[in-house]
Amino acid sequence: MLEQAAHLVVHGEAWTVKELFVLPNEYIYWSIQIVMYPFMTGLVAGAFVLSSLYHVFHVEKLKEIAKFSLVFSFSLLPVAMMPLLLHLQQPFRGINVMMTPHFTSAIAAFGIVFTTYACIVATELWFVYRAYFVTTALELKAKANKGAIDTFRQLLFSVLTLGAWDISKEAQQKDHKACTKMAAIGIPVACFLHGYAGFIFGSVKANALWMTPLMPVIFICSAVVSGIALCILYYVVVQEARKFMARRKLARWAKDPSAPTAEQLEGAKKEEVEITSNYLMYFMIAAITLEILDLIFRGYTQVKSWDILREVIMERDFIKIFVLQYGLGNALPFLMMVLPGRNVRRTTIACALVLFGVFMMRWNVVIGGQAFSLSFAGFMHYHLPIIPHDMETFKEGLFGALTVMTTPFVLFYFLNMIFPAFMVDKEDAQH
C-alpha cells in the first residue's frame, strides 16, 4: 500500500494552490464543471424565456427568433446535466439521485424539475411542429421513387405525428392554444430550474460568499440575460450563413423558389435583433442591480466574514470581478447597446461580451467562493488544468469545459433536421 500511496494525488490537489493557513482537507472541490453547470442551465432557461415572449406574450415581431430559440433551448437541455455528470466522482451512480431522492438536498430536486421541464419543452415543440410533421410525412408519401433516406424520413415524421394527422384550420388553432399554455407553464418551471441552481449555492451556510437568499434571484436574472444573448449571437451567425447560402444557392432550401432572399434574411435579422436586444437590456439592468445590491449590503453590514470576503473581492479577485465581469462583461456591452447608432454588428459584439460577463459571474461565484479557507486565515487558488494528463484533469479541465460548450451546437445541427428552426410558415409566405 505504501508504494501506491507515495504518488496518490487526492481530488483537487492537481489544481489547488494553498497559501497561508488552509485546513488540510480543503481543496477547490467544485471546479470548472460546476461553473459550467449554472452557466449551461442558465442558457436553457434564458432561451426558453425568450421564446415565451412570443408564445405567451405574443410579441409578434419575435416570431422567428422565438421558434429558433425554442429549438435551441431543447438542444441545450441535455447539456445542462452533462457538467454534473462529468464532475461526479462516481458518475455511474448518478441514477441513485432518482432512485433515492433525499428531499432536504437541493440537488435531489434536480432530476424532477429537469424532467418536468424537458417534458414541457418537448410538448411545446411538438405542438409547434405537428402540422409540419404531417405535411412532410404526406409529401414524402406522395413522392415517387424514394431513396432509403426518404423512406426513413417518412417513417420518422409519421411516428412523430403520434397519430394526429388532422391539419385543418381548427386543429391548428388548437395546437396554437396548447402551445401558449405549455409556454406559460414553462416560464415558472424554467425560472425554478435555474433559481434552484442558485439555491444549491445560496443555501450552503458554510460558505460566506454563497450564503445569501438573493442567490436564486440573481441566478435567474443572469440566466435570462445569458440565454437571450446567446440566442441573438447564434441567430445572427446562422442568418449570416443562410444569407451566404441563399446568394450562392448552396443549400437544398435555397433552391426552392419561395426561399427567402438574402435581402429578406437581412431585414428579418435586423428587426429581430433590434427588439430582442431591448429585452436583453431590461434583464441586464435587473441582474446587475441585484448583484451590486448584494455586494453593497455585505460591505455595509460587515459581518464577521466580510474581512476575508473583502480581501477576496476587492484585492485578490479584483480583476476578475470588477474588470472582467462588471467592466468588460456588463458596463461595456450595456454602453454599446444604449449609445445611439446601434446596429446588428455592435449588438452582436455586445452579446458576446454579455455572455462572457455571465460566464465570469459564474466563475467568480463558484471559484471565488472557494478562494478562502474555512479558517478565514488562508487562501486557495485555482489553476485550470489545460493539458489533460488523466481522466480527471480532462473532465475538470479546459477540454472538459469545451466539450460541454460545443455539444449544444452539434445537437442543434441534428435537431434542426427534424424541427427546422427557420421554417417559414406557408401562410406567412403568401402574405
The residues binding other proteins (CB under 8 A) are 1-2, 4-6, 8-13, 17-27, 29-30, 84, 87-91, 93-94, 96-97, 99-102, 104-108, 110, 200, 203-207, 373-378
Name every residue whose Cβ is closer than 8 Å to that of residue 57 and which is 6 or more positions away in sequence: none
The residue (of 71 and 309) whose beta carbon lies closer to other proteins is 309
CB of 25 to other proteins, least distance (A): 4
The residue (of 100 and 168) whose beta carbon lies closer to other proteins is 100
CB of 320 to other proteins, least distance (A): 20
The residue (of 27 and 48) whose beta carbon lies closer to other proteins is 27
The residue (of 92 and 414) whose beta carbon lies closer to other proteins is 92
Give the span between the Cα atoms of 337 and 366, in whole angstroms.
29
Please report, for residues 52, 64, 378, the alpha-carbon distance to residue 69 in angstroms, rounded to integers and kept in the order given: 9, 9, 45
CB of 28 to other proteins, least distance (A): 10
CB of 203 to other proteins, least distance (A): 8
Residue 140's φ and ψ, nearest 5 degrees, are: -65, -35
Give the span between the Cα atoms of 165 and 140, in whole angstroms.
14
Cell numbers found for residue 294: 448584494
The residue (of 226 and 393) whose beta carbon lies closer to other proteins is 393
In one-letter notation, the amino acid at residue 286 is A
In one-letter notation, the amino acid at residue 305 is S
Closest-CA residue to 233 (of 64, 71, 352):
352
The residue (of 107 and 415) whose beta carbon lies closer to other proteins is 107
The residue (of 128 and 200) whose beta carbon lies closer to other proteins is 200
CB of 293 to other proteins, least distance (A): 24
CB of 389 to other proteins, least distance (A): 17
Give the span between the Cα atoms of 86 and 378, in whole angstroms.
29
| Cα pseudo-dihedral 283, 289, 290, 293, rounded to 10 | 180
The residue (of 134 and 404) whose beta carbon lies closer to other proteins is 404
Name every residue whose Cβ is closer than 8 Å to that of residue 175 and which is 6 or more positions away in sequence: 127, 128, 130, 131
CB of 34 to other proteins, least distance (A): 9
User: Are the C-beta atoms of residues 64 and 242 closer than 8 Å to each other?
Assistant: no
The residue (of 79 and 84) whose beta carbon lies closer to other proteins is 84
Residue 116 burial by Cβ neighbours in a 10 Å radius (0-12, 13-18, 19+): middle
CB of 202 to other proteins, least distance (A): 12
How many other C-beta atoms are found inside a 10 Å radius of the C-beta of residue 70?
27
The residue (of 103 and 414) whose beta carbon lies closer to other proteins is 103
Give the span between the Cα atoms of 200 and 270, in whole angstroms.
39
CB of 31 to other proteins, least distance (A): 10
CB of 7 to other proteins, least distance (A): 8
CB of 10 to other proteins, least distance (A): 5
Please report, for residues 55, 80, 135, 156, 182, the alpha-carbon distance to residue 127 in angstroms, rounded to integers and kept in the order given: 11, 24, 14, 16, 9
Residue 256 burial by Cβ neighbours in a 10 Å radius (0-12, 13-18, 19+): exposed
CA quadruple 243, 245, 249, 251: dihedral sign = negative
The residue (of 89 and 301) whose beta carbon lies closer to other proteins is 89
Residue 249: left (phi > 0), alpha (psi -120 to 50), or beta?
left
